[in-house]
Amino acid sequence: MELTTVNIPVLALRGLTVFPHMHLTFDVERTISIAALERAMEAEQEIFLVTQREISVELPGETDLYPIGTVSHIRQILRLSSGAARVMVEGRRRARLRRLWQSSPYLQANVEELPEEVPSETFHRSPRTEALLRQTWNLFSEYAQMSGNIPEEIITTVMDSRDVGYLADFIAQNIPLRHTDKQEILEELAPFVRLRKMNSLLARECNILGFEHEMEGKIRDQLVRTQREQILRTQIRVLQNELGEDDEDDEVEDYCRKILELKLEEEAESHLLKEAGKLSRQPYGSAEASVIRNYLDVCLEMPWNVETRERVSVDAARKVLEKEHFGLEKVKERILETIAVRQMNPKGKGQILCLVGPPGVGKTSIAISVAKALNRKLARLSLGGVRDEADIRGHRRTYIGSMPGRVIDAIIRGGSMNPLLLLDEIDKLGSDYRGDPASALLEVLDSEQNHAFRDHYMEIPVNLSRVMFITTANTTDTIPQPLLDRMEVIRLSSYTDEEKVQIARRYLLPKQMREHGLKKSALRVGDEVIRAIIRDYTRESGVRLLERRIAALCRKTDMKLLSGETKRVQVTEEELPKFLDCQPYPPALHTEREETGVVNGLAWTETGGEILEVEAAVLEGTGKLELTGNLGDVMKESVQAALSCLRSRAEVLGIEADFYKTKDIHVHFPEGAVPKDGPSAGIAVTTAMLSALTDRKVRAGIAMTGEVTIRGRVLAIGGLKEKTMAALRNGISTVLIPKDNVRDLEEIDQTVRAALRFIPVETIDQVFAAALTSPAEAVREEVPEPAPVFPSMSREKVDNALRQ
């Protein structure tokens, strides 16, 4: 059958759908739409009404319109004062949009009219059609009953209609559906299928209305219950007033009595009494009353007038610290000085100490021991990863679920106004859009301000001047300078091997044997075995890994005892691999004989000191300097400075003046996967390069550390304690150190000082004289070999000293 095609104006509808044989009135505001209506009226044409896909599109194109619409007749247009038009249309036939060929001044399109299917009389009388109609009538009746706003004439029309196609269109036109659902009905040409889809939409709408009525019923019941409870509570309150038994008044009086008993300062007392007065004016079950009760409860939980009796005794504190910690003499002495000041001036302000050191050296345990020695309550605040300022200063009471900050909470948990607050991991504070917690700590950790600290939740001043603060950190680099300035930094260095031996023998081994159910006689571990564990199985500043290795020995011992193999286990150094598997940290590689271009440097790491071997090779070339070994920028610049130092002294050192043009120099630091940085390998690099250039060997058993300048001066370095311990551990007998570091030798372990020969050097010439064999005569005459600070001991004496 040939389809009719016409060119007619187009009116794009937003959120509306017009069905055939239906009347619809709506307002038109867009200029192109009004122009299309006027054009259709002037030419006595019909108009094509089609729905937009997106309501927000102001100037729709062909892709913005649905393909199926309705060819309609304009019955009436009414001009409105606002410039819009109210139009009444009558839908006539379905049509398909073939091409939108005009978009200005109005939409004009070529549309193809779609024929209506006319069901036969047999179709109308079939049981299938009857069943579909009955289903439609039942669903629409249920929908009309649940909706409650369907006009009676619409219900009558639906119940009297037997034309399935018309019925589907009529229902879709007269009930509120999404325009996408109406468009789905409009685009369906088969009448039977169209009504079946309409039934599915009716069933869905009935379910939605059912859920809405259920929720409305629950809300209504809740309101009725709340109103009933309010009425009953009001009646009870009236009866209690008549009988003189007002519980709410008793509650407010109880709060007022507790506030007055605290004998707070005038500002805090008046503020809390004012809050109690607000509570008396609130309905019993109101949300505001609950907030005020929680606030008053928190304020009354504060130990306002409670202080623990402080045991300020230097001797008692020394006994506690010596009993629970080995070594750390400087740290103990500084803490005892703080306690001595407290003993001389009991009313002084609380101290703010910051313990800085690598992981596992005992920062937290020292703070716990200080609290025990002073008889103060301890409250620990872990600040690692804290990013919200409210964690420190609290939330304002206007927020739901607000609470005081961690400082106030710690004082409440401590139960006194003079606790010891341990702020752990203060260097790991974060910051984001919620504020900067480090800035919030500025007032807390300032002894000149914290006597009137105001928490956002409490809003009354709290005196923190009697609180003793101890903070811990792994490094001061990430602590903001204003916060660091408020604390006195006490640095904890890494333990020496001998300190680790004593800690393992006195504390770790007995502790692990108790935890593993071992008697003293069941496991024997000598000092040499502990030294081997420290040397070959741990690489750390503290003793945590060492404790885990000892725990592994205890576990193996439990297995041997339970299997009946033996009744007592004696661990020897040769049997360690059986207990702890292979060595994860084999002895460090270093030169033990005289070699050319190879020097033993000394490096500091977070896990202690290490031997850092420096290799230099001179090759024929064009003056390139090659650096390898995963070096940082500072170390690369240090090598450049060493080369410039050699160039400036080439004539004195007996080097060819143009060596930097004719020779390629390659400097390599072994263990290339390990990052290395810092200037302290300067003299080692310079010595290795001179050795390679002059073929003079480096003396065996010597190591060195120091920064070099391009003028040949040797500057001071850090980490001397750990570096010298690494030298002793690796069999070095002589160590070259900067002259400015001689004062640091007092902090070195006595065993190390006795076992090593220290040579202080001030210039690079002194380094060459002490480190290189067969020096040039000119150098020997100008710079005599410097005298050692401490003479070297024999290897037997060293071993005896280590065993003591």
Per-residue pLDDT of 387-435, as tens digits, reads: 777 788 888 887 887 888 888 888 888 888 888 888 888 888 877 767 7
**pLDDT for position 801:** 44
**pLDDT for position 640:** 92
Angle at 273 between CA 269 and CA 279, to 5 degrees: 150
**In which residue ranges of the chain is CATH 2.30.130.40 found?**
5-113
Which of 12, 44, 34, 23 has the alpha carbon at shortest distance from 169? Answer: 23
Residues 6+ apart with CB under 8 A from 165: 116, 117, 119, 191, 194, 195
Can you name the CATH fold of 5-113? 2.30.130
What pLDDT band is residue 588 in, cutting at 50, 70 and 90? Answer: low
- What percent of the chain lies above the pLDDT cut of 90? 13
**pLDDT for position 666:** 93
Q: Which residue has the higher pLDDT, 48 or 788?
A: 48
How far is residue 168's CA from residue 193's CA, in Å, rounded to a whole number? 10
Sign of CA dihedral 13, 15, 21, 26: negative
Q: What is the mean pLDDT of residues 499-520?
A: 86
Give the Å distances, CA to CA, from 355 to 320, 376, 469, 491, 504.
18, 19, 11, 6, 23
- Asked if CATH classification 3.40.50.300 holds for the domain at 314-491, the reply, yes or no, is yes
What phi and psi, each to the nearest 5 degrees, are found at residue 75?
Answer: -95, -35
- Residue 777 pLDDT more than 60? no
Say if CB 371 and CB 377 are below 8 A apart.
yes
- Asked if CATH classification 3.40.640.10 holds for the domain at 595-803, the reply, yes or no, is no
**pLDDT for position 543:** 84
Angle at 169 between CA 35 and CA 80, to 5 degrees: 30
Q: Which residue has the higher pLDDT, 762 or 755?
A: 762
**Angle formed by the axes of helices 127-147 and 164-174, nearest 10°:** 10
Ranking 240-244, 482-486, 707-711, 758-762 by mean pLDDT, the lowest is: 240-244
**pLDDT for position 784:** 52
How far is residue 608's CA from residue 500's CA, in Å, rounded to a whole number? 12
What pLDDT band is residue 468 in, cutting at 50, 70 and 90? Answer: confident
- Residue 782 pLDDT more than 60? no
Which of 377-386, 448-457, 550-559 has the highest mean predicted lDDT (pLDDT)? 550-559
Q: What is the mean pLDDT of residues 43-53?
A: 88
How far is residue 371's CA from residue 600's CA, in Å, rounded to a whole number? 45
Say if CB 747 and CB 667 are below 8 A apart.
no
**pLDDT for position 617:** 92
Ranking 106-110, 317-321, 450-454, 775-779 by mean pLDDT, the lowest is: 775-779
Q: Are β-strands 68-79 and 608-620 bridged in parallel, bridged antiparallel, or unpaired?
A: unpaired
- Residue 803 pLDDT more than 50? no
How far is residue 241's CA from residue 247's CA, in Å, rounded to a whole number? 9
Q: What is the mean pLDDT of residues 169-195?
A: 89
Candidate CATH numbers 3.30.565.10, 3.40.50.1390, 1.10.8.60, 3.40.50.410; the one for domain 497-580 = 1.10.8.60
Say if CB 37 and CB 47 are below 8 A apart.
yes
| Digit-coded pLDDT (tens) for 330-366 | 888 888 888 888 788 877 776 788 888 888 888 888 8
- The yes-or-no answer on residue 648 being catalytic is no
- Which residue is listed with tokens 């804290």? 386
| Digit-coded pLDDT (tens) for 78-121 | 888 888 899 999 999 899 998 988 888 889 999 998 888 777 77
Cis peptide before 786 (omega within 30 of 0): no
- Which residue is listed with tokens 């935890």? 515
* Mean of pLDDT over the chain: 83
Enumerate long-range contacts of 288-293, CB under 8 Å, 24 or more apart: 291/397
Over the Cα atoms of the chain, what is R_g?
Answer: 45
- Residue 593 pLDDT more than 70? yes
Task: Return the bridge partners of 715, or none.
Answer: 707
Task: Return the bridge partners of 609, or none.
Answer: 604
Q: What is the mean pLDDT of residues 619-634?
A: 88
**pLDDT for position 402:** 83
Ranking 95-99, 502-506, 533-537, 788-792 by mean pLDDT, the lowest is: 788-792
Residue 26's Cβ-count burial label (10 Å; 0-12, 13-18, 19+) is middle
How far is residue 44's CA from residue 40's CA, in Å, rounded to a whole number? 6
Q: Are β-strands 453-454 and 85-102 bridged in parallel, bridged antiparallel, or unpaired?
A: unpaired
Instruction: Tokens for 629, please give them.
Output: 């070994």
DSSP per position, 2-48:
PPPEEEEEEEEESS----TT-EEEEEE-SHHHHHHHHHHHHTT--EE
Residues 6+ apart with CB under 8 A from 33: 11, 12, 106
**pLDDT for position 607:** 62
What pLDDT band is residue 50 in, cutting at 50, 70 and 90? Answer: very high
- Residue 802 pLDDT more than 50? no
**pLDDT for position 795:** 42
Which of 377, 500, 676, 723 is flagged as catalytic?
723
Q: What is the mean pLDDT of residues 751-780?
A: 78
Ranking 48-52, 183-187, 247-251, 598-602 by mean pLDDT, the lowest is: 247-251
DSSP per position, 265-291:
-HHHHHHHHHHHHHHHTS-TT-HHHHH
Residues 6+ apart with CB under 8 A from 657: 650, 651
| Digit-coded pLDDT (tens) for 18-33 | 999 999 999 998 889 9
**pLDDT for position 241:** 66
Kindly provide the residue ranges of all beta strands, DSSP E only, lying in 572-628, ordered along the sequence: 595-596, 598-605, 608-620, 625-628
- The yes-or-no answer on residue 680 being catalytic is yes
What pLDDT band is residue 315 in, cutting at 50, 70 and 90? Answer: confident
- Residue 239 pLDDT more than 90? no
Which strands sit side by side in the sheet containing 734-738, from one edge to the other? 625-628, 663-668, 608-620, 598-605, 702-704, 734-738, 757-761
pTM of the model: 0.59
Give the Å distances, CA to CA, from 320 to 8, 362, 365.
101, 14, 12
- Residue 790 pLDDT more than 70? no
What pLDDT band is residue 484 in, cutting at 50, 70 and 90? Answer: confident
**In which residue ranges of the chain is CATH 1.10.8.60 found?**
497-580
**In which residue ranges of the chain is CATH 1.20.58.1480 found?**
121-211
Give the Å distances, CA to CA, from 564 to 512, 524, 568.
21, 17, 10
How far is residue 28's CA from residue 17's CA, in Å, rounded to a whole number? 14
**pLDDT for position 295:** 86
What pLDDT band is residue 244 in, cutting at 50, 70 and 90? Answer: low
Ranking 185-189, 434-438, 569-573, 689-693 by mean pLDDT, the lowest is: 434-438
Residues 6+ apart with CB under 8 A from 515: 551, 554
Angle at 470 between CA 464 and CA 473, to 5 degrees: 135
**In which residue ranges of the chain is CATH 3.40.50.300 found?**
314-491
**pLDDT for position 420:** 86
- Residue 245 pLDDT more than 70? no
- Residue 306 pLDDT more than 50? yes
- Residue 436 pLDDT more than 50? yes
- Which residue is listed with tokens 């003299």? 683
Which of 680, 691, 721, 739 is flagged as catalytic?
680
Q: Which residue has the higher pLDDT, 799 or 510?
A: 510
- What percent of the chain lies above the pLDDT cut of 70? 92
**In which residue ranges of the chain is CATH 3.30.230.10 found?**
595-803
**pLDDT for position 786:** 60
**pLDDT for position 797:** 46
Q: What is the mean pLDDT of residues 633-653?
A: 89
What pLDDT band is residue 586 in, cutting at 50, 70 and 90? Answer: low
What pLDDT band is residue 787 in, cutting at 50, 70 and 90? Answer: low
Q: What top-level class would CATH report for the domain 121-211?
A: mainly alpha
Instruction: Tokens for 220, please give them.
Output: 């209504």
